[in-house]
Amino acid sequence: MLKVQGLTGGYGDSQVLFGIDFEAQAGQAVSLIGRNGMGKTTTVRTLMGMLPARGGSIELQGKVLGRLASHVVARLGVGLVPEGRRVFGSLSVEENLVATARAAEGRSGWSLDRVLDLFPRLRERRRQSARTLSGGEQQMLAIGRALMTNPQLLVLDEATEGLAPLIRHEIWDCLRTLKREGMTIVVVDKNLTEMASLLDRHHIVEKGRVVWSGTPEELKSRADLAHRYLGI
Ligand SMILES: Nc1ncnc2c1ncn2[C@@H]1O[C@H](COP(=O)(O)OP(=O)(O)OP(=O)(O)O)[C@@H](O)[C@H]1O
């Protein structure tokens, strides 16, 4: 479904990615983990076409991305839940969701009703402006908004950052539901224990490269890796 090989990139003169390799099979959930500043968000931005890939390749269902504009990447079926949520504060919950809606081509897709079924809290607050929502509710809205684009691949950058444990659990539950329904998911996150039951594979990013990949069980048995690359 998604295959990233030897991806290089960065900002202006500063190279951040030195050869990122990872893949997600259809229906799998995988992570990019690693300490701050190692290139996870830069990988996500490059994947989404927000930064140009300088070298290497990104393939989504056999189509080559990497030099496509972000709206084209979105149209090809990649939904982003960006770091910092970025909901439209002055719009209502419902307006935020409808703003990104795009019909699924030939698939039974996400509708406003289906997103509000997934997040009953958003249904209760559908007429409220997004800025009046709690952080957790804004995160749900950011996920709902990405779903409204009817993605085949959902990419979440620090979706649980700064949220209370109960809300984090709701978000992980929702991602498990989406995975059961066949969604392919890439998450950047720090909560290794909470992610374990969702993920098929972790990828550790260190200085712009994927230096290790394996299952959550394998990572758990390698205290040396957690210490060396994750600072725990
Ligand atoms: N807009 C930018 N312009 C220039 N350099 C940037 C920009 N954004 C990030 N960087 C640099 O790129 C490097 C990788 O940052 P990135 O945000 O990808 O790290 P990360 O692994 O996602 O960590 P974090 O958890 O802190 O977001 C860092 O050295 C950072 O300072």
* Tens-place pLDDT, residues 39-95: 999 999 999 999 999 999 999 988 888 678 888 898 889 999 999 888 999 999 999
Atom of ligand 1 nearest to the CA of 32: 21
Predicted complex ipTM: 0.94
The length of the chain in residues reads 232
Give the pLDDT of residue 107: 58
| Pocket residues: Cβ below 6 A from ligand 1 | 11, 14, 16, 34, 36-42
Q: Is residue 39 within 8 Å of residue 20, measured between CB atoms? A: yes
- Ligand 1 centroid–CA 120 distance in Å is 34
* Tens-place pLDDT, residues 127-177: 999 999 999 999 999 999 999 999 999 999 999 999 999 999 999 999 999
pTM summary value: 0.93
- Ligand 1 centroid–CA 83 distance in Å is 12
